[in-house]
Amino acid sequence: MKHFEFKSKSEDGLTLYFQGWEPDRRKKGVICLVHGIGEHSGRYEHLAERLVKDHFALISFDLRGHGNSEGQKGYIPSYNAVMKDISLLIKEAKKRYPGLSLFLYGHSLGGSLVLYYILTNENGLKGVIATDPDLGLAFEPPKWKKFMARALNRIYPSLSMATGLNTDHLCKNPEVVRKYLNDPLVHDRITPRLFVEMQDAAKWVVKHGADVNIPVLVMHGARDHITSSEKSREFADKVKKELSTYKLWQGCFHEIHNEPEKNEVFNYTIKWIKAHNKR
């Protein structure tokens, strides 16, 4: 397996960090991955290793304000700016792997982003995978917090606040949680702009599920206390039946790719990719 790194400029001038993993020889296709809030692309190396065994490459980047990329932690000017960043990821993948099938994969916030992307951009993708996408929280924030976030979004959109994430809800593996807490590239920041954009985009994506025109695999942990599995199912049910696959992983928390059942998750995902790579 070969690992590579490079940097590229976003449309508005930020330096974004990219990395990827690829088989030494024959490649069947490429997965473009978008990570979740507060984390970074390096947390998916074990998924990349599994994909490489089946001759698929994985290329990813650290979202603006995350990991090794530039930008204020937890802040985005708009979802549209991040859509352009994802377009850059896909452009880089096409340049590096001309002629190969491309799949877009996103987790949590990344899941919301990739679903929003395929609904708003021409993409030439073979399919999209969203794991535990943020299409709604698994809990209802107090009304005053939502009101304050929208008020601050108008007057101080870049105000940095703690996400309040309960890391015990990430997965059942305490070693993964320990590494997350001690990872210098992980942060716990969010801003009113990102919070409001996430909420509004989530509602919009669920509402427009019927407009999806490429195959979609949506997977969710049944015991996810961070993002809503019910909203994932609602979205998947709106997608045309022949394009939609929904998988609920019983007993799993938010990061299904880090659970003790992760090999089952990987096998299921790769089987779906192979099935749609032939079309």
Calculate the CA 266 to chain-centre distance. 16
pLDDT of the residue at 235: 98
d(CA 135, CA 137) in angstroms, rounded, equals 7
Best CA proximity match to 256, nearest among 213, 218, 204: 218
What's phi and psi for 176, nearest 5 deg?
Answer: -65, -45
Question: What is the mean predicted confidence (pLDDT) over 22-37?
Answer: 95
For residue 95, how many C-alpha atoms fall within 13 Å in the half-sphere facing its CB? 6
Residue 255: what pLDDT?
98
**CATH (residue range 2-277):** 3.40.50.1820
Give the integer Cα–Cα distance in Å for 269 and 277. 12
Which distant-in-sequence residues (6+ apart) come within 8 Å of 89 by Cβ? 18, 32, 34, 59, 60, 61
Question: For helices 262-277 and 45-53, what crossing angle results, to 10°?
Answer: 50
**Every domain of the chain and the residues it spans:** 2-277
Residue type, 223: R
- Asked whether the predicted pLDDT for residue 211 surpasses 90, the reply is yes
Would you state the pLDDT for residue 279? 59
- CA–CA distance from 239 to each of 83, 139, 203 (Å)? 21, 24, 15
The CA-CA-CA angle for residues 98, 84, 157, to 5°, reads: 155
Average pLDDT over residues 106-113: 98
Mean pLDDT for the stretch of residues 128-157:
89
pLDDT for position 145 = 76
pLDDT, average across residues 30-42: 98
Query: 68-94: per-residue pLDDT in tens?
Result: 999 999 999 999 999 999 999 999 999
DSSP state string for the chain: -EEEEEEEE-TTS-EEEEEEEE-SS---EEEEEE--TT--GGGGHHHHHHHHHTTEEEEEEPPTTSTTS-S-TT--S-HHHHHHHHHHHHHHHHHHSTT-EEEEEEETHHHHHHHHHHHHS----SEEEEES--SSBSS---HHHHHHHHHHHHH-TT--EE----GGGS-S-HHHHHHHHT-TT---EE-HHHHHHHHHHHHHHHHTGGG--S-EEEEEETT-SSB-HHHHHHHHHHS-GGGEEEEEETT--S-GGGSTTHHHHHHHHHHHHHHHH--
> What is the average pLDDT across 20-36?
95
- pTM of the entire predicted model: 0.96
Tell me, what's the pLDDT at 51?
Answer: 98
pLDDT of 146: 80
Is the pLDDT confidence value at 99 over 70? yes
* Closest by Cα among 206, 203, 260, 220 to 132: 220
